[in-house]
């Protein structure tokens, strides 16, 4: 079965705190891709990162970093020094053949000033 689980439904932090959003996936495919998308209150879906199954290097982009571990089937997302503008729903997704995306349920992040 192909599945993405984001166990944290809602997270609330105070500005400048670090926060990690968890993502656990299940797949039998040997080649697959993992994604994170952000959905701000305005409703659009914004692509953040793509990672293929052969590349376990962690990635850092400004205040964002991603930790991909095949051994635990996890692809976690950390925001360092969170800001109010980071408040959004964040989705982790698994891409299979023909490009179909399987989304997690999403984690709502609220960053309070």
Partner 1 sequence: NAGVTQTPKFRVLKTGQSMTLLCAQDMNHEYMYWYRQDPGMGLRLIHYSVGEGTTAKGEVPDGYNVSRLKKQNFLLGLESAAPSQTSVYFCASSAPGGYEQFFGPGTRLTVL
Of 83 and 105, nearer to partner 1 (C-beta) is: 105
The site string for partner 1 over 23-62 (x = CB under 8 A, - otherwise) reads: --------xxx-x-x-----xxx-x--x-x----------
Q: Note the Cα 99 to chain centre separation in Å.
A: 18
On the 0-12 / 13-18 / 19+ scale of CB atoms within 10 A, 4 is buried
Of 19 and 34, nearer to partner 1 (C-beta) is: 34
Of 15 and 49, nearer to partner 1 (C-beta) is: 49
Distance between CA atoms of 74 and 4, rounded to whole angstroms? Answer: 10
């Amino acid at each position: 079965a192909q599945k993405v689980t984001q166990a944290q439904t809602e997270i609330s932090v105070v500005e400048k705190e670090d926060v990690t959003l968890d993502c656990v996936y299940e797949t039998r495919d040997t080649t697959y891709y993992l994604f994170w998308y952000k959905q701000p209150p305005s409703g659009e879906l914004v692509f953040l990162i793509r990672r293929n199954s052969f590349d376990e290097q962690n990635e850092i982009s400004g205040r964002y970093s991603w930790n991909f571990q095949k051994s635990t089937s996890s692809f976690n997302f950390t925001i360092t020094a969170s800001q109010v503008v980071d408040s959004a729903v964040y989705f982790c997704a698994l891409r299979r053949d023909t490009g179909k995306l399987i989304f997690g349920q999403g984690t709502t992040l609220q960053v309070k000033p």
